[in-house]
Amino acid sequence: MTSIIPDGDLVWGLQLPIQSQSTIFVQPWEDAAGPAELAEVAEAADAAGAFYVAVCDHVAIPQPHDETMSGVWYDTVATLSWLAARTTRTHLLSHVAVLPYRHALVTAKAWSTLDLLSGGRAILGVGAGHVEAEFELLALDFAGRGRDLDDKISRIRAAFADEIVDGAVMAPRPVRPGGPPIWVGGSSPAAIRRAIRLGDGWLPQGPPEAGMKATIELIRAGRDGRPIDIGGFCEPIFVGSPTWDVGPHTATGSPEQVAERLGRYARSGISHLQVRFPSRSAAELVEQLTRFGGEVWPAVTAGRP
């Protein structure tokens, strides 16, 4: 296990729109958007210096959960593979792949292939899953999903590390020695313990019970000197002075003003920050990404060691 972000660096990433349309975060313009707009946003994030672009993972949303979650969830590996051909440097992250949904060797094969095809840019973000009815639909054990996740992380690592698995050959091999890094998602105590024990990184999903500062300290202490890429999240961002309602708590203003507001994240001890931008169209989101990467982020990280 190892980190991929140099010690002391802070990078940013983006959960892509369109590919998942839960009512919790979807914006109205996404309903009529499709692959062309998805590619446009991913390419803009790549050009703006995003360390990663991320997509979610669900197989099928049982009714009536679709009333809040929607039924639109693009397949994770298919989408990231398609985006690999349209980007050049950004990493391709699952945020998060629900490992209990699939056999460990199926997941290892898919992610080894994605890592090869993308030139070593795959990051396997993993989680236990939370929709009990989806587990029932797939004839899987919801109660045992935590143990299953732990077991599959170990089995996938073994398949990443060695071409011979259980007396069978698994190729092609990933570009990175040891395979794509595995970032553990979740903010529950169990997820945090899992990240400490088994992860190369941590992807928080909501504020942890103990708060971010205490949790970061807990993770670093638990690693006993072993590096780990620790994630964070921030308020929505709109660079400039919006003429429409961008929602409460959104960081707005000049690039300098937005950078000053985000400066606390650069001092928090995290390694990667997930950002999001209110927008009314793909074009507006592309503009925000471009301004953020070119004008805001350099000011956020200025002066870091």
Residue range 92-115: average pLDDT? 98
Q: Is the pLDDT of residue 2 over 90?
A: no
* 78 lies in some domain: yes
* Cα end-to-end distance, the chain, whole Å: 24
Task: Specify the pLDDT at position 295.
Answer: 98
- Are 82 and 117 in contact by the 8 Å Cβ rule? The answer is no
Question: pLDDT tens for residues 230-249?
Answer: 999 999 999 999 999 999 99
Residue 243 belongs to a domain:
no
Mean confidence (pLDDT) of the chain: 97
The pLDDT of 197-222, averaged and rounded, is 96
At 62-71, the pLDDT tens digits run: 999 999 999 9
pLDDT on residue 1: 67
304: pLDDT strictly greater than 80: no
| Residue 49: pLDDT band with limits 50, 70, 90 | very high
Separation of alpha carbons 193 and 254, rounded Å: 39
- What's the one-letter identity of residue 37? E
Identify whether 97 is part of a domain.
yes
Rounded average pLDDT over 113-118: 98
* Residue 153 included in any domain: yes
What is the pLDDT confidence band of residue 12, given thresholds at 50, 70 and 90?
A: very high
- CATH at residue 190: 3.20.20.30
Report the C-alpha gap between 244 and 28 in whole angstroms.
14
The pLDDT of residue 210 is 95
Give the pLDDT confidence of 168-197 residue by residue, as tens digits: 999 999 999 999 999 999 999 999 999 999
Q: Considering the domain boundaries, does residue 140 fall inside one?
A: yes
* Any domain includes 110: yes
> In this predicted structure, what is the pLDDT of residue 143?
98
How many domains does the structure of the chain reveal?
1
Per-residue pLDDT, 51: 98
Distance CA 30, CA 44 (A): 17
Q: Considering the domain boundaries, does residue 260 fall inside one?
A: no
230, 228, 235, 185: which is closest to 205 by C-alpha? 185
Question: CA nearest 237: which of 276, 274, 211?
Answer: 276
Q: Which range marks the domain in which residue 186 is found?
A: 14-228
pLDDT for the residue numbered 26: 97
For residue 303, what pLDDT band results from cuts at 50, 70 and 90?
Answer: low
In a domain, 254, yes or no: no
Query: ∠ CA 21-27-30 to the nearest 5 degrees?
Result: 65
User: Does residue 305 carry a pLDDT above 60?
Assistant: no
| Percent share of the chain, pLDDT over 70 | 99
